[in-house]
Amino acid sequence: MEYRIEKDTMGEMKVPADKYWAAQTQRSFQNFPIGDEVMPREITRAFGVLKKAAALANHKLGKLSDEKVNAISSACDEVISGALNDHFPLVVWQTGSGTQSNMNANEVIANRGNEIAGAKILHPNDDINKSQSSNDTFPTAMHIAAVLSIEDKLFPAMDKLVETFKRLEKENEGIVKSGRTHLQDAVPIAFSQEISGWRNMIEKTKAQLTLALSGLKELALGGTAVGTGLNAPKGFAEEVANQVSILTGKKFVTAENKYHALTAKDELVFAHGAIKALACNLMKIANDIRWLASGPRDGLGEIFIPENEPGSSIMPGKVNPTQCESMTMVAVQVMANDVAVSVGASQGNFELNVFMPVIIYNFLQSVRLLSDGIVSFEKNCVTGIKANKEKMKHNLYNSLMLVTALNPYIGYENAAKTAKKAYKENISLKEACVALGFLTAEKFDEVFRPEEMAYPQN
């Protein structure tokens, strides 16, 4: 491999000749050979956005020349597009402020910008990092990445799942089945009503995430090292937020209190709480679906789901609810990630949180896994759900909890006696009720209408 010599304040470093990074990136690359978790590409893209926004703001405020802002902007566009991803090699497990990733961006943009300009006009610190500090750029990158990931990837996946549930509700109107509580038989419910509960879980968590987005759209940029704004010109914070908004098409604002913005990560904790709630809901939905599809002969068997691949290497013909299993494993990982986000956010010592890389790594992994998991779950499982009407009807009429409909006519205690007699003697509720003398056969048929029990207000 060919190398070139780059210098920083600590001396010279050999850097791969075909890479745009420089000495500080190389030091981090060599000093932290820990794991293979590279800084998320969402953060790389966010740095491209914020560095371009900062250059445009500095230019507007008279702090950067036309030649420099044009070179920086062109280089940043390549960072944003992902064309320079190979030049961002640093792992998550580095300095807790993300300083080396900030310098990675500064060095790459400076060297690529100089190449574009055809002259060495850009310095990583003096030009690319002008009016900034790692302490306000990294939290800004975290917020930009979080917002873009949620709005552009997670929300569309959630919306598609909601639309599929709405279609299934319409397709299954009027189909009544046995409800279940405590994994035991309960009173009847329409299958469309059960599906509506799943649908509303996704809608509710989207509303919770939307609420959390307002905090994530506040940017720390302009606070510089400790929140005082040292070395940032007046108006920079507001203008850079405006430029980020233009570049992303989303409304960002400067954080009102930069001391809070640098040291506290409560907005990310709050947002990840909603992400965890989504994971909890998806765990419940996936479990419901695989319980209802259990069988094919010895389970509940009330719904059919798509058969995607063989389920066993030894049992011929076996098919498993693999999409449900995948979705629930994603949910487990997201719940675990919430612990890391929470503990990391609690470590805001004095003027800076130094657990930012691990916070955003887990946050973005949660969003990425849920986004991809929901798309797969909807496409390969949920969209193909079909009701097994015969099995639903059989289970409905076989349920002893239908006796609840008799409460207004024979009372709770007599209804309990009816259910127990039917269960003990393996006879129908009607036979038990008539045998106990609580109702005549004709009166029983008049008041006992299981399908109507799902619509008591009609």
Q: Which residues are catalytic?
A: 182, 312
The type of residue at 339 is: V
In angstroms, how far is CA 248 from the centroid of its own chain?
20
Run of H or E residues at 233: none
Give the count of beta carbons closer than 10 Å to the beta carbon of residue 341. 25
296 upstream amide cis, omega within 30 of 0: yes
CA distance 186 to 177: 10
CA distance 57 to 69: 10
| Residue listed under structure tokens 């420099």 | 68
Contact by Cβ (8 Å): 4, 68: no
Contact by Cβ (8 Å): 101, 94: yes
CA distance 317 to 310: 7
Contact by Cβ (8 Å): 450, 397: yes
Rounded alpha-carbon distances, angstroms, from residue 396 to 132, 190, 320: 66, 11, 25
CA distance 337 to 332: 9
Q: Nearest CA to 218 among 272, 262, 156? A: 262
